A = this chain, B = another copy of it.
Amino acid sequence: VFSPHSFAQTGNVRWKCATSWPKSLDVLFGGAQMIADRVSAMTDGKFTIRAYEAGELVPGLQVLDAVQQGTVECGHSAGYYYVGKNPTLGFATGVPFGLTAAEQNAWLYSAGGLELIRAVYDDFGIINFPAGNTTAQMGGWFKKEVKKASDFKGLKMRIPGIGGQVMAKLGVNVQVLPGGEIYLALDRGAIDAAEWVGPYDDEKLGLQKAAKYYYYPGWWEPGATFDLMVGKKAYAALPKAYKEILASACAEANLAVAADYDAKNQAALQRLQKGGTQLRRYSADILKAGNKATQELHAENSAKNADYKKVYTPWNAFRRTIHAWHQINEKPLMDFND
């Protein structure tokens, strides 16, 4: 009944995908690779995407630029690496005291968030597809303990996005480095502190060899979303079924990357602690100061940037609503697990 070659009549499509990740970060780079694998599987190998690690085609923090310029058809990166171009891109990934992975998905897929974010990417000739989430991150590595908000003053710390802008308000000398460059900078003392993702990734980067104190919670990244950034011209040239398949593969990756981090982080944390890493919880003083600085920054950015205000206002209303809901349904279960 069926032809063995379902897509025999369709032309081949070959895309390149630049990423912001070293291949050694197998969950994160794996998100890009999964999209490639799934698209190929769903088209009998007619639509293929080759994922390149950071630096292979373009530097890790210039993926959006490469897609915008048409150097590559697509890229796997995080919107918040590009807040220098437009701070509104911070909401594509996540902002301090913002949304967890589940909440971000609810906002993006069911509360108008994706349309709002796409309007921002559109200015760069890009359409984005959420394509991975770290889930709630850790609060970073420090060479010395930080007990109160004033301890941040003068620290050189690697932290990108709106979280970095908030840390700057707390007196931090903010650095933005791609993942593959953090260990050396921290080990050599070019920076005093750094955050990446969580135990599984951080262990692979070797950050535990360069700093002793590992903080939680990662209040600036309750759930960081990655995007497949696709050049609108390349996208428009796809047959309709391939467009749908690409979207579906990205949703799969969005789900799978989060599941993978959730499954692997605790074992990695236990290995780190066994190896001498000292776990520290951020004090209420630091959380309060971070939250205050965050609200100030939202107000300032909203006043300066019409895009930011257009996204922040409904986003913040949604944040309050869904946080209230999770206080009812998930938190009492977590309280009992204590």
Residues of A within 8 A of B (CB): 1-11, 13, 38, 41-44, 97, 100-103, 105-111, 135-138, 198, 216-219, 222, 237-242, 244-245, 248-249, 251-252, 254-256, 258-260, 262-267, 269, 279, 281-282, 287, 291, 318, 321-334, 336-338
What residues of B have a CB within 8 angstroms of the CB of A240 in the complex? 6, 41, 44
* A239-B105 contact in complex given A248-B249, A327-B338, C-beta closer than 8 Å: no
Q: How far is the CB of A87 from chain B (nearest CB, A)?
A: 22
Contact call A244/B330, Cβ cutoff below 8 A: no
What residues of B have a CB within 8 angstroms of the CB of A198 in the complex? 329
Contact call A334/B336, Cβ cutoff below 8 A: no
Give the most central of A42, A237, A287, A323: most B CB within 10 Å.
Answer: A42
Contact call A333/B262, Cβ cutoff below 8 A: no
Contact call A102/B245, Cβ cutoff below 8 A: no
What residues of B have a CB within 8 angstroms of the CB of A101 in the complex? 102
What residues of B have a CB within 8 angstroms of the CB of A255 in the complex? 105, 109, 251, 254-255
Contact call B325/A269, Cβ cutoff below 8 A: yes
What residues of B have a CB within 8 angstroms of the CB of A336 in the complex? 97, 217, 219, 287, 291
Q: How far is the CB of A99 from chain B (nearest CB, A)?
A: 10
A219 to B259, CA, bound (A): 22
Q: How far is the CB of A325 from chain B (nearest CB, A)?
A: 4
Q: Assuming A43-B241, A136-B330, A255-B255, what are 6 further A-B pairs, CB within 8 angstroms?
A: A2-B10, A9-B9, A41-B241, A102-B102, A266-B322, A269-B328
* A329-B217 contact in complex given A9-B3, A260-B110, A262-B103, C-beta closer than 8 Å: yes
What residues of B have a CB within 8 angstroms of the CB of A5 in the complex? 9
